[in-house]
Amino acid sequence: MNDLEIKNATIVDGLGKESYEGNIYVKNGKIVAITHKESLDSKKSINANGKIVSPGFIDLHTHSDSSFLVDSRADSKVRQGVTLELIGNCGMSTCAPLIGEAKTIFKQRVSMLENPEDLNVDWTDYAGYIDAMKKAGAPLNVAFQVGHGTLRAAVIGLEDRPPTAEELNYMRKLTAESLDAGALGLSTGLFYAPGYYARTDEVIALAEEVGKRDKLYSTHQRDEGSRTVGLFVSLNEAIEIGRRSDCKVQISHVKCAAQKVWGKSDEYLQLLEDTVQEGIDIAGDQYPYTASSTALTGALFPRWSLSGGREKTLEFMADEDHRGRLVDEITDTFSKGRGAEGIIIARYVEDESLEGKTLIEIADIMNTSPAEAALRIYQKGEASVISYGMTDEDVENFASHPLIAVASDGSSLSATGKLSVGKPHPRSYGTNPRFIQKYVNEKNVISIEEAIRKMTSLPAQRLGLTNRGRLTPGYAADIVIMDLAKIKENSTFADPHQYPEGISHVIVNGELVVENEIYNGSKPGQMITEFNS
């Protein structure tokens, strides 16, 4: 007897093919049969009449590194249909390895949580971190990447300098150890300190370890607009890393993020297509919003001011000449996007009353300039911000392209408890429903079959997974049931901690996790450390 039957379903298999009517049967965590009319004996049956049934969504770009250690019931992703998250993105595998200055970055990152002291850390290497995640459990599956920025901080520190030969060998060793422990890729955040301080050859040396194991290289490229080297120089650097290290390249959160490159999405996509034609395995992922989110320093501070870490930055700020230079360069950064009114405080532990306010509003409160307000905020502590810097036209153009997967760049959070603080980007609650609502239902930019492919088999292929991302017998039973007409993102920038509508059931490894749009508290998620796990 089967464990579960999903009958009268409109099946979208994840491969982009036309939907068809049928019944799906699950046993021991696997899909065991799909029939067109025949009913098979099952312990439990769900009538999916009038609903779409698809594979569970795979989110290639998330920052849930500490989420499940803080609250293992974090449900914002699974309630939007995500059944697997890839963490450790943007060069920040925040929780491992924890040696050297990587421990300092970890403490800074978790300081924005509620009661960070409750996070019990008894590991230093990646294997220990994966074990801790297994013990904590999760509603969905988790796959891992090791971050170049974390490795650099662990070995070199936070200074702007190249590694010695000995240091580079040690970074390679840590990369190899982390990949062999179960990380499925390496990520870089070359836009951020300390990753920004790396030269291309340093990254290639580590990416070679990825290529040897046929794993994934994900990159928050060095410039997504016109802050430093420019969008296309940066994209070509990512391509060259893939070319020379012989590894798959994933461009994270694809965007044109400055006035000078608005409208350049066609040129961007053409370069990706040309690179594929050359024989380099490259693709990208994207969230369906015109605003991004990151740390205040990452969004605004010039990288020279971050060399050496927070204490050194505070020293720069205390020096009159350096402070003046900082104000000038931050003001210049405003001019490249949508100005200080496009920067909103998402999380600020030191003064939660500033959350949800723009830097223009905060500057008025402080009776100073927006750039000076940013410095005053950082003097008391780091903040996370939301930054408007894209156009709807470019976002929609990327959304329609077959090489671009759907990914959130968010975290598994919760509308209650420790992970319900601040005003985070709504992508943590609404990325997948928003994509379907906006580009399938409202704008008809793509079909539901193509949208599902971009959320399932495409990211599974990028990550090298061999038994997830499609509905077929023998594959893991990660399944979403949705009412297409009722799909709705409820999370907003003003009130982000809201769950979506229209996704009625979510099944992870054969176990119901979301029933009638409510998370039931179960935690059947697995730690995915092999391609076939």
Q: Look at the block and give the residue holding tokens 């009449």.
A: 49
pLDDT band at 473 (very low <50, low <70, confident <90, very high): very high
What percent of the chain is modeled with pLDDT above 70? 100
265-287 pLDDT, tens digit each? 999 999 999 999 999 999 999 99
For 165-220, give the DSSP string.
HHHHHHHHHHHHHHHHHT--EEEEETTSTTGGG--HHHHHHHHHHHHHTT-EEEEE
Q: What pLDDT, on a 0 to 100 scale, did the predictor assign at position 118?
A: 72
Q: Whole-angstrom Cα distance, residue 513 to residue 523?
A: 7
Q: 105-116 pLDDT, tens per residue?
A: 998 888 777 677
Question: What's the pLDDT at 37?
Answer: 87
Q: Which pLDDT does position 370 carry in this prediction?
A: 98
User: What per-residue confidence (pLDDT) applies to 110?
Assistant: 82
Integer Cα distance of 295 and 144 in angstroms: 22
Residue 85 region, left (φ>0) first, then alpha (ψ -120 to 50), else beta? beta
Query: Which element (helix H / strand E) includes 405?
Result: strand 404-406
DSSP-derived 3-state class of residue 83: strand
175-192: per-residue pLDDT in tens? 999 999 999 999 999 999
3-state secondary structure of 49: coil
Using 50, 70 and 90 to split pLDDT, how confident is the model at 119?
A: confident
Question: How many Cα atoms within 13 Å fall on the side-chain side of residue 131?
Answer: 10
Give the SS3 label for residue 285. Answer: strand
All residues at 6 or more sequence positions from 197 whose CB lies less than 8 Å from its CB, including other chains: 152, 159, 160, 161, 303, 307
Range list of β-strands (E), 40-100: 42-47, 52-55, 57-59, 82-86
Residue 125 has pLDDT above 80, yes or no: yes
In single-letter form, the type of residue at position 95 comes to C
Q: What is the pLDDT of residue 332?
A: 95
The pTM (predicted TM-score) of the whole model is 0.97
Give the closest residue to 300 by CA, choosing from 254, 340, 249, 252: 340
pLDDT at 120: 84
The span from the first CA to the last CA of the chain, in angstroms, equals 24
Indicate whether 512 pLDDT > 90.
Answer: yes
Per the prediction, the chain carries an average pLDDT of: 97
What pLDDT was estimated at residue 404?
A: 98
